Structure 1
Amino acid sequence: MAKKTRIKAKLKKGIVTVKALASHAMLSYQEAEKAKKEVNFITYLVAKVNDKIVYEVSTSQFLSKNPYMKFQFRGAEKGDKIEITWTDLKGETQTSSAKIK
């Protein structure tokens, strides 16, 4: 199982900036063929605050190993919990959370 996603979320002037580092091998079709391993990469990522989706993305094999994501949104307060969940090609899901500072 992959390590948890590292999340930093800061509120400044009403805008929350989130930086997240997912721990994943992200093996594309070419890389997997060369390494003689199974293809696997993150295909879907969603971020929620108070059960409200604030960021949602479908991805492909274009992301690098251990992908870093940065996004911003409005409508949250300090102390709210942000929860990031991603799903990979094998169907494995990983969820991590952090408090907004």
Structure 2
Amino acid sequence: MSKLKIQIEADDGEPQKLLEELALNKLGATRVLPVPGSNTLNIDGGLNDIRAVIDTNNISFYVRYERDADKFEKLITYFVASQTERCHIVVYEREQDK
């Protein structure tokens, strides 16, 4: 899986709740579940096209197909734009973009 160049930083100290809202409202999930044998979370209703990792107040995202990276980054950015009082986007340069 490839890591997206954006992360969500939860300003309200509730990254799990924020991720659940993203998953349910934008990614078609009915709940967020841990993926057995990994530290990732299934957030797209079992399709396994995108996963998340919560580290303190940061949420990182990983996509199965690199071709879907832009689509998911736009979707996440749109979600965060509606939640500016709770979170913001942090952008990291990916190795393959250097």
**With structure 2 as the length reference, what TM-score do the two structures score?**
0.27
For the pair shown, the structure with the greater C-alpha radius of gyration is: 1
**With structure 1 as the length reference, what TM-score do the two structures score?**
0.27
Say which structure, 1 or 2, has more relative contact order (CA 8 Å, 6+ apart). Answer: 2
The structure richer in helix per residue is: 2
